[in-house]
């Protein structure tokens, strides 16, 4: 990290942050990008992205992340593998604190993405990494010829259930309502997959096992009756929440933790822009994250000049 005032600091290395970085670097803005984990962010966990334009056969999330990073680096991106812990503004200058040290910039694009929502039920925390997982792409291959459960009724849960049938002999799809909120193409694919058994309307009440997941205890959402499933793994896919805690002292957040912006991705703090999943009203798609990233970078250029 150089001791200078950067034109722009980008927080987050997912599709929004990497696209913003590509635009900023290509436009000769001095740019530093922070990412605490793996470049590409949550997109790394998608087995197959079928709705990102330009890839008619779909693309694996890990490959897309690598391509986005390579593209930004081609124009000179400098990245810091560290978590941003707070951002303050002094006059026109932002002061960014991170786990790797502090730096300053004239503008900030926050594209920090989301965290996976936890169920908060007994056994979830205790058996995390011992059969409880939040990523089927990462952990699915460990459960070859096993029985597994997926909890959730959105696009992630249904895509993960379908993906897991490549390894597991049986996949229970647990959802608290009878209707799924996933898109029809994914819902139809799941309906046609003989290895998937839908278990609805059921809520998971606890996950049990001695050293490893052994059972999932369910409660019927209509009549309260209980049911037990013998499973080797439980994949939790009950949504995502924006990673914006570190911004609480800088900008008011919406009730769901997102940040409100105008159509240029500008927030109510001059010089602070937000892009991707953390933006209020985001449709939370890879393509919209990339679009937000491009818009925010162009807006930063205009702001700086």
**Catalytic (active site) residue 139:** yes
**Which of the residues 135, 146, 162, 277 is marked catalytic?**
135
C-beta closer to ligand NAP: residue 51 or 85: 51
C-beta closer to ligand NAP: residue 88 or 177: 177
**Which of the residues 7, 139, 232, 292 is marked catalytic?**
139
Cα 278 from Cα 243, distance rounded (Å): 7
CB of 77 to ligand NAP, least distance (A): 26
CB of 190 to ligand NAP, least distance (A): 13
Place of tokens 């959105």: 154
Cβ neighbors of 58 (< 8 A, separation 6 or more) are 48, 49, 50
**Catalytic (active site) residue 3:** no
What region, left, alpha or beta, does residue 148 occupy, with left being phi > 0 and alpha being psi -120 to 50 degrees?
Answer: beta
CB of 125 to ligand NAP, least distance (A): 15
Residues that bind ligand NAP (CB under 6 A): 51, 119, 151-157, 159, 176-177, 181, 203, 237-240, 284-285
CB of 27 to ligand NAP, least distance (A): 29
Largest CA distance in the chain: 64
C-beta closer to ligand NAP: residue 97 or 220: 220
Exposure class string for 98-113: b at 16+ Cβ within 10 A, else e = beeeebebbbbbbbbb
C-beta closer to ligand NAP: residue 94 or 172: 172
Cα 73 from Cα 56, distance rounded (Å): 25
Counts of helices then strands in the chain (DSSP H, E): 6, 17
Active-site residues, by number, are: 135, 138-139
């Amino acid at each position: 990290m150089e001791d200078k005032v950067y034109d722009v600091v980008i927080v987050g290395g997912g599709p929004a942050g990497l696209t913003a970085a590509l635009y900023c670097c290509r436009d000769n803005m001095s740019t530093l990008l922070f990412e605490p984990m793996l470049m590409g962010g949550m997109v790394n966990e998608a087995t197959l992205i079928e709705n990102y334009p330009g890839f008619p056969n779909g693309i694996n999330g890990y490959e897309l992340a690598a391509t986005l990073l390579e593209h930004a680096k081609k124009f000179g991106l400098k990245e810091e593998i560290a978590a941003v812990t707070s951002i303050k503004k002094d006059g026109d200058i932002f002061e960014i604190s991170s786990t790797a040290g502090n730096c300053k910039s004239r503008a900030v694009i926050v594209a920090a993405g989301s965290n996976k929502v936890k169920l908060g039920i007994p056994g979830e925390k205790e058996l995390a990494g011992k059969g409880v997982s939040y990523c089927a792409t990462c952990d699915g291959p460990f459960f070859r010829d096993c029985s597994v459960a997926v909890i959730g009724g959105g696009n992630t849960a249904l895509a993960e259930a379908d993906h897991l049938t490549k390894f597991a002999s049986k996949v229970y799809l647990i959802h608290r309502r009878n209707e799924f909120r996933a898109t029809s193409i994914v819902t139809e694919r799941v309906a046609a997959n003989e290895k998937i058994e839908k278990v609805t309307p059921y809520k998971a009440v606890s996950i049990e096992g001695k050293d490893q997941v052994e059972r999932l205890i369910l409660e019927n959402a209509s009549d309260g009756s209980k049911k037990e499933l013998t499973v080797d793994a439980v994949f939790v896919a009950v949504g995502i929440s924006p990673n914006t805690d570190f911004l609480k002292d800088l900008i008011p957040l919406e009730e769901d933790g997102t940040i409100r912006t105008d159509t240029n991705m500008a927030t109510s703090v001059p010089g602070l822009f937000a892009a991707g999943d953390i933006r209020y009203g985001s449709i939370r798609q890879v393509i919209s994250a990339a679009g937000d990233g491009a818009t925010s970078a162009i807006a930063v250029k205009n702001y700086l000049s």
